[in-house]
Amino acid sequence: MPLTQLRSSFWRVGHGREVELGARSVLMAIVNVTPDSFSDGGRYMSVEGAVAHAFEAANQGAHIIDIGGESTRPGAAAVTPSEEQARVLPVIEALRGQTDALISIDTYRAETARLAVGAGAHIINDVFGLQKQPEIGNIAADTGAGLCLMHTGRDREKLPDVIADQFAFLERSLEIASAAGVLKDHVVLDPGFGFAKDTQENIELMARFSELHRLGFPLLAGTSRKRFVGAVTGREAADRDVGTAATSALLRLAGASIFRVHDVAINRDALAIADAMLAARCSFEQGTLA
pLDDT per residue, tens digit, the chain (290 aa), is: 555 566 789 999 999 999 999 999 999 999 999 875 445 445 666 899 999 999 999 999 999 999 999 987 776 678 999 999 999 999 999 999 899 999 999 999 999 999 999 999 999 999 999 999 999 999 999 999 999 999 999 999 999 999 999 999 999 999 999 999 999 999 999 999 999 999 999 999 999 999 999 999 999 999 999 999 999 999 999 999 999 999 999 999 999 999 999 999 999 999 999 999 999 998 888 776 54
CB 31, CB 44: distance < 8 Å:
yes
Q: Which amino acid is at 67?
A: I
* Residues forming the active site: 226, 260
Separation of alpha carbons 287 and 290, rounded Å:
5
Separation of alpha carbons 50 and 34, rounded Å:
10
| Phi and psi angles of residue 32, each rounded to the nearest 5 degrees, phi first | -90, 110
Q: Can you list the positions of beta strands (E) in 84-176?
A: 102-106, 123-126, 146-150
CB 149, CB 126: distance < 8 Å:
yes
Structural domain range at position 86: 3-286
Query: Looking only at Cα atoms, what is the longest distance across the chain?
Result: 59
Number of H helices, E strands in the chain: 9, 10
Residues in Cβ contact with 163 at an 8 Å cutoff, skipping those fewer than 6 apart:
205, 208, 211, 212
The conformation of residue 172, written as its DSSP 8-state character, comes to H
Report how many domains make up the chain.
1
The CATH number for 228's domain is 3.20.20.20
